[in-house]
Amino acid sequence: MSADQLQIAGRTFDSRLILGTGGFANHELLAQACRAAGAELCTVALRRLDPTARGSILDVLEEVGVQVLPNTAGCFTARDAVTTAQLAREAFQTDWIKLEVIGDDRTLLPDAVELVAAAEELVDAGFVVLPYTTDDPVLARRLEDVGCAAVMPLGSPIGSGMGICNPYNLSIIIERAGVPVILDAGVGTASDAALAMEHGCDAVLCASAISRAHDPAAMARAVSLGVQAGRLAHGAGRIARRRYAQASTPEEGMPAFDVQGVAR
């Protein structure tokens, strides 16, 4: 599949599954999941330094050999998101930022107005901005217009595992996007990821579905296979849906066993 690489802002990736590192019970399970997923890119967050913490997640990710995509999780305003992005640039020495500006702590849904403001400011400050957004096609277009390097629409709320609640909106976003579309949030299992890729997403970000599964490594592998399956299927040209059946076995040439006056 190396011929079919994901490209974002000039960087290329063989894997189309981005792994979120939140929710793992420990670093060992995270490492196993990274390997099982074949992930090349993982999100990380920033929180107040805990002096008692032993070992940095960065050591784990380095050992596994994945690159880091910092996020601004937990920010409710453009201002806090921008400051957090600047801290991330300092902490991780990368201009890439997964921009999250949420409007609400029960749904964790993005706040459209603050999100656009933050995206604009960060693009101007030279960041490569990958915004977590709703499935609103107009908002996605606005984010692309202000210079985001990709758009990351949700399928359903973070951690909800409800999959893609509105495939119609997602497909409209994909049809009209000039930048990569990465499904972010809502994936609950492998088929959700496959479906997203079949709709034409360029990649899938998955965190809770893997980190909180009973067997994270197995689910990481499953979601990774789902992403590959969906990507391949997207390119293979699926059959059209039809209300009635179409025989897969030819109908002509059926033998006729019955005959008038033949005793059986």
Per CB under 8 A, residues contacting other proteins are 20-24, 30, 43-51, 53, 56-59, 68, 70-71, 73, 83, 86-92, 98, 100, 158, 207, 211, 248-250, 253, 255-259, 261-262, 264
Q: Calculate the CA dihedral of residues 106, 158, 45, 41 and round it to 10 degrees.
A: -170
Residue 153 Cβ vs its own copies, minimum distance, rounded to whole Å: 12
d(CA 228, CA 224): 6
Residues contacting residue 262 through CB under 8 Å, at least 6 positions apart = none
Q: Does 188 bind its own copies (CB under 8 A)?
A: yes
d(CA 80, CA 230): 36
Q: Over 190-235, what HEC string results?
A: HHHHHHHHHHCCCEEEECHHHHCCCCHHHHHHHHHHHHHHHHHHHH
Residue 142 Cβ vs its own copies, minimum distance, rounded to whole Å: 7
Please give the single-letter amino acid code of residue 151.
Answer: V
Q: Which does 172 bind (CB under 5 to 8 A by kind): other proteins, its own copies, none?
A: its own copies
Binding mask 158-187 for its own copies (x = CB under 8 A): xxxxx--xx-xx--x---------------
How, if at all, do strands 6-8 and 11-13 pair?
Answer: antiparallel
The footprint of its own copies on residues 32-91 (CB under 8 A) is 45-48, 50, 71, 73-74, 79-80, 83-84, 87
Residue 10 Cβ vs its own copies, minimum distance, rounded to whole Å: 27
Residue 239 Cβ vs other proteins, minimum distance, rounded to whole Å: 15
Q: Does 116 bind its own copies (CB under 8 A)?
A: yes
